[in-house]
């Protein structure tokens, strides 16, 4: 496991955040951190909860998982849609049994697809929609009709302009469903 790459994906300098996202037994986590330190890729300061990347991280992930993630993205594109990271996240691990892929392997696979240009991520921030209503006692109260939501769509670059159209369609369906 490339701890420097994981750290760069997480955009953190907190060792505790890297550890929280490293979905493996402590022995594997420690060995990966020590290997990164020994290779001169990272430096850690456990007392101050710090991790520092010393060399430009090399993108690295599980080939089989990366291929599966790409195939899911391609499947959605065949149906003229783009999957969101949120929806893809639910396919990585079964919530009941806990069986599935380690979280760190998954986020590294997705990021490597993005880094190599095989996949693009398009983010749409949907703002909160609210209204001010007056209660029977005459007090004004803000009522949230639709909470703010961030969509992170994973798209195939070869679909170009279609990606924006497909993403807008998904966002509009979400708006219609939440405001119904």
At 71-94, the pLDDT tens digits run 999 999 999 999 999 999 999 998
> What number is the average pLDDT over the span 12-27?
96
The predicted model scores a pTM of: 0.87
- Please check the confidence at residue 61 and state whether its pLDDT lies above 90: yes
What domains, with CATH codes, occur in the chain? 3-53 (no CATH), 63-178 (1.10.10)
What residue has token string 């505790």?
16
Integer Cα distance of 133 and 40 in angstroms: 59
- Please check the confidence at residue 180 and state whether its pLDDT lies above 80: no
Q: What pLDDT is stored for residue 30 in this prediction?
A: 96
Write out the DSSP string of 83-122.
EEHHHHHTTTB-TTT--B--HHHHHHHHHHHHHTTSSEEE
Q: pLDDT digit string (tens) for 1-18?
A: 899 999 999 999 999 999
Write out the DSSP string of 135-148.
-TTS-EEEEEEE--
Query: For all residues of the chain together, what is the average pLDDT?
Result: 94
Q: pLDDT digit string (tens) for 127-160?
A: 998 988 988 888 898 989 889 999 999 999 999 9
> What number is the average pLDDT over the span 30-34?
97
What residue has token string 């496991």?
1
> What number is the average pLDDT over the span 156-172?
95
Q: What pLDDT is stored for residue 33 in this prediction?
A: 97
φ/ψ of residue 132, rounded to 5: -95, 125
- The angle that helices 26-38 and 3-10 make with each other, rounded to 10 degrees, is 100
């Amino acid at each position: 496991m490339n701890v420097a790459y994981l750290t760069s994906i997480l955009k953190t300098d907190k060792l505790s955040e890297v550890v929280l996202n490293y979905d493996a037994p402590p022995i594997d986590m420690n060995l990966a951190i020590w290997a990164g330190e020994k290779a001169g890729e990272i430096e850690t300061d456990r007392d101050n909860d710090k991790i520092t990347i010393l060399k430009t991280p090399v993108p690295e992930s599980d080939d089989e998982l990366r291929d599966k993630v790409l195939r899911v993205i391609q499947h959605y594109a065949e149906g003229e849609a783009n999957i969101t990271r949120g929806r893809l996240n639910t396919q990585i691990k079964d919530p009941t049994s806990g069986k599935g892929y380690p979280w760190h392997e998954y986020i590294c696979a997705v990021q490597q697809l993005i880094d190599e240009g095989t996949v693009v991520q398009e983010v749409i921030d949907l703002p909160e929609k609210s209204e001010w209503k007056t209660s029977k006692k005459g007090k004004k109260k803000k009522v949230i009709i639709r909470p703010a939501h961030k969509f992170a769509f994973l798209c195939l670059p070869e679909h170009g302009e279609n990606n924006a159209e497909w993403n807008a369609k998904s966002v509009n369906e979400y708006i219609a469903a939440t405001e119904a």
